[in-house]
Amino acid sequence: MKVKDYASTAGIEVFSPVSHTLFNPADIIQKNGGKPPLTYQSFLKLAGQPLWASSPLPVSLSSLPPVGDVGYFEISEVPTVEELGYKGYGQEELSPFRGGESEALKKLRESISDKEWVANFEKPKGDPSAYLKPATTVLSPYLKFGCLSSRYFYQCLTDVYQNVKKHTSPPVSLVGQLLWRDFFYTVAFGTPNFDRMKGNRICKQIPWSNDDELLAAWREARTGYPWIDAIMVQLRKWGWMHHLARHCVACFLTRGDMFVHWEKGRDVFDRLLIDSDWAINNGNWLWLSCSSFFYQYNRIYSPVSFGKKYDPNGNYIRHFLPVLKDMPKEYIYEPWTAPLTIQTRAKCIIGRDYPAPVVSHDSASKECKRKLGEAYALNQKLNGQVSEDGLKNLRRKFEGEENQESGRRQKQKTLTGWLKDH
């Protein structure tokens, strides 16, 4: 199919009529003076409405290329799972998600058929422990492989929004999720060495440890923290887990507990996720490791309480870690605290049937915070980001706000507390 034919059929601009993304990253970067926007909000402002979105969806294409017409390349056989290096996987180990465009469109229609659900969608409010019916659309693998067009998805969502009274907005809405995807594509496209720490101007330089033992325990789902290990089993078996579940394990590997380099975790996700996408995967590892975009390194996901608040009974853990299925719910998130009689009754002795924790979250997370604090201070010094004058300005601004608010507030915030929010 010729680009011009498609464009005239679709009634859209001749430039980039077909694309993997909603916007052209180069356009956004150009609008921003040559540098990619580094916050979602600034990205939204630059992006605006996509030009093609006001046109009706193309209902048919004038022509399709003959099967096998791929220009200079020969079509080769689709490699088998074994040929791709995934040996020893039984049928029950395979992802429950089927591939292909038909499946993608079926899933899309199912997802948008509940208009109220679409209108009220708010990420990250979904339940990461929901596995019978995931809290999100699970359309990411189809977007990644091009089985589903992000532009078509966008227009379908716009149609739903037009037929409801009110709907959520970016960043939390469903359209907001597509925009997150374009945000990461744009930054990734415009940032040299985006996929590594060294030579990457937006990445904090942090002296991550090189502990292969800890990395292996994380990768192989034997950290001793059932919430973490269950997520890693879901990753291995399904190739997909909920957004917040990914947050928990990424935080645990890097800045939360193990202090292992985010590039190592990135490689594992890249290999095992069925939706792994270079820009989005690297972007999220930069985010979760507090290397870029997000810098609140004190906010650490608890490997115990985070999952518990969604799934107090531990059903998710019981499903993905059957060895713990008879552990009483009082101990299932911290089985090493269960008395031996309970462990015996649950047929799960810690240290024999299921590992003891490889790190103590309490001390490990404190140590991580300390190291991040040091690394941040060093980065600041090296980059000269906060000069003496800059600090004075911040102090003046803080005192100004404090005076304005002191009338209606009894307690005073400290300067350090305030600085963290600004």
Q: Which of 146, 147, 140 is nearest to 178 (CA)?
A: 140
Smaller CB separation from DNA, 112 or 172: 172
Applying CB under 7 A, does 299 fall inside the site for DNA? yes
Rg of the chain over CA atoms, in angstroms? 24
DSSP 187-216: HHHTSTTTTSSTT-TTS-----B--HHHHH
**Any known ligand binding at 22?**
no
Taking the complex as a whole, the smallest distance from the CB of residue 123 to DNA amounts, in Å, to 5
**Any known ligand binding at 337?**
no
Residue span binding DNA (CB under 7 A) among the ranges 58-66, 302-310, 333-341, 374-382: 302-310
Q: Is the dihedral of CA 123, 126, 131, 133 positive or negative?
A: negative
**Any known ligand binding at 129?**
no
Near DNA by CB under 7 A: residue from 20, 31, 236, 413 = 413
Near DNA by CB under 7 A: residue from 20, 115, 243, 325 = 243
Applying CB under 7 A, does 109 fall inside the site for DNA? no
Are the C-beta atoms of residues 366 and 295 closer than 8 Å to each other? Answer: no
Binding mask 40-79 for DNA (x = CB under 7 A): x---------------------------------------
Residue 19's contacts (CB-CB under 8 Å, 6 or more residues apart) are: 151
Are the C-beta atoms of residues 55 and 195 closer than 8 Å to each other? Answer: no
Smaller CB separation from DNA, 52 or 240: 240
Taking the complex as a whole, the smallest distance from the CB of residue 44 to DNA amounts, in Å, to 12
Applying CB under 7 A, does 301 fall inside the site for DNA? yes
Site for DNA in 344-383 (CB under 7 A): 369
Taking the complex as a whole, the smallest distance from the CB of residue 413 to DNA amounts, in Å, to 5
Question: Phi and psi for 209 in degrees, rounded to 5?
Answer: -80, 170
As to burial, measured by CB atoms within 10 angstroms (0-12 exposed, 13-18 middle, 19+ buried), residue 49 is exposed
Near DNA by CB under 7 A: residue from 298, 337, 344, 385 = 298
Taking the complex as a whole, the smallest distance from the CB of residue 371 to DNA amounts, in Å, to 14
Applying CB under 7 A, does 409 fall inside the site for DNA? yes
Site for DNA in 83-102 (CB under 7 A): none
**Any known ligand binding at 139?**
yes
Taking the complex as a whole, the smallest distance from the CB of residue 380 to DNA amounts, in Å, to 18
Are the C-beta atoms of residues 104 and 139 closer than 8 Å to each other? Answer: yes
- SS3 of 338-398: the string is CCHHHHHHCCCCECCCECCCCCCHHHHHHHHHHHHHHHHHHHHHHHCCCCHHHHHHHHHHH
Find the angle CA(377)-CA(383)-CA(386) to the nearest 5 degrees: 65
Taking the complex as a whole, the smallest distance from the CB of residue 266 to DNA amounts, in Å, to 18
DSSP 35-87: S---SHHHHHHHH-S-GGGGSPPP---S--PPTT--TTSPP-PPPPTTTTT-T
Near DNA by CB under 7 A: residue from 141, 171, 224, 226 = 171
Q: Is the dihedral of CA 6, 11, 13, 19 positive or negative?
A: negative
Residue span binding DNA (CB under 7 A) among the ranges 23-31, 339-347, 377-385, 409-417: 409-417
**Any known ligand binding at 177?**
yes
Which positions touch DNA (CB under 7 A)? 40, 123-125, 171, 180, 243, 296, 298-302, 304-306, 309, 369, 409, 411, 413-414, 416-417, 420
